Structure 1
Amino acid sequence: MPDPALGRALLIRARNAIGEEFGIAGQPEPDHPALERPGATFVTLTQDGQLRGCIGSLEAWRPLDEDVRANAKAAAFGDPRFPPLSKSEFARTRVEVSLLTPPVPLDFTDEADAIRQMRPGIDGMIFEYHGRRGTFLPQVWESLPDRQQFFAHLKQKAGFPANFWSPEVRLYRYEVQKWKEPEKS
């Protein structure tokens, strides 16, 4: 179950990290004991319900406080799918933070078996093949609820055709706790 106090601390830190780049004073940052422990986050930015940036860490390798700040800046200014966030856009940008569990390898016999094991709305998935990989957070199930379609798009995100398959494919699943700022008006 998501910890509201941790969520508030992460959301404020993410927004403050982006605001610092524009010279905007941040909100006071509540403390939380989890912030000192290693953690893996994804920071997703939206405007009017549309994706505006999403960058994250798949594995915990630095303190959670540092991870969420770095990923917030990367989502705002370094997502190659979008131009850097402008100061004029900042106020109407909504921040979401996802805290990932450690990825667990999926054991499957073939592609159909892998697809059967995916849990819509629960699993974030990592597709990996020969050093290339792509991931979808569990939230992506909201726009791609069909397992086959979800998996085809995941392969494309990793840089492969939708119908690509090899017995050497590696798949991992993870779950998230997520927190979102209120809608911007």
Structure 2
Amino acid sequence: MEIEKDSFLESLTEDDGKLLMDIALNALKKHFGLEYKFPAIPEKFKTNAGVFVTINEEKNLRGCIGYIFSIKPLAEAVKEMAVAAATEDPRFRPVTLSEFNKIEIEITVLGKLQRINYTDIDKIDLGVHGIYVKNGFYSGVLLPQVAIEYGFNKQQFLEETCRKAGMKRDCYLTSEIYIFEGRVFK
């Protein structure tokens, strides 16, 4: 089984990342009632893409929400997920206006999901691939950077994705497993 590179992700430049950050920041400014101005949206940002926005405050996670599937244009998804990460992650209290200047934004644009079998875990490239597991109503996702941040090996990365999905650590033996590339902008 060959893992395909994602051409859309490869087309994203550092300047694109800066523009995505500007979009996210202005979405949050608008949410908080501050003065904002969205930049012009380039054509490539009208392409549907999966995206997660992570909000950190002083290196501590304050919210992370996104679309695993490519159901909305990238620019719109970034706007929505920036606000959702700051206000709707059930693990945290919403970010307040007084915290606004203390937060850091991270955007992960997701590539296409590619299904693998648990016998193909050697295909997972830690730090490059994220994992999505699904079994019935249960599903969980970990972004590519999580494996590096926590020092997971491939087995641990799969187990932690299962745990996040609310399933047993070895759920990958009986679940659908998908991997995807992620392009991170900070």
The question of a shared fold, defined as TM-score above 0.5 by the shorter chain, is answered with yes
Give the RMSD, CA atoms, in angstroms.
1.7
Greater mean alpha carbon deviation, residues 11-20 or residues 140-149: 140-149
Verify the 8 A CA contact 1:144 1:150 in the aligned structure 2. Answer: no
Residue deviations 1:1-49, cap 9 Å, x none?
A: 4412211111011111112111111255253221222122110111122
Paired with 1:63 and 1:31, the residues of 2 have a C-alpha distance of 11
- Structure 1 gaps of 5+ residues are 181-185
For residues 102 and 8 of structure 1, do their structure 2 counterparts lie closer, same or farther at Cα, with a shift above 3 Å needed? same
**Are positions 1:47 and 2:35 aligned together?**
no
TM-score of the aligned structures, taking structure 2 as reference length? 0.87
**Structure (1/2) with the larger helix percentage:** 2
Verify the 8 A CA contact 1:6 1:32 in the aligned structure 2. Answer: no
Paired with 1:122 and 1:65, the residues of 2 have a C-alpha distance of 22
Picking from 152, 157, 160, the partner of 1:145 is: 152
**Are positions 1:134 and 2:153 aligned together?**
no
Identity %: 29
Verify the 8 A CA contact 2:27 2:82 in the aligned structure 1. Answer: yes
Picking from 63, 67, 70, the partner of 1:60 is: 70
**Are positions 1:117 and 2:135 aligned together?**
no
User: What secondary structure, in the 3-state scheme, does the structure 2 residue paired with 1:46 have?
Assistant: strand
Runs of 4+ in 1 over 6 A off after TM superposition: none
Paired with 2:37 and 2:54, the residues of 1 have a C-alpha distance of 19
- Structure 2 gaps of 5+ residues are 1-9
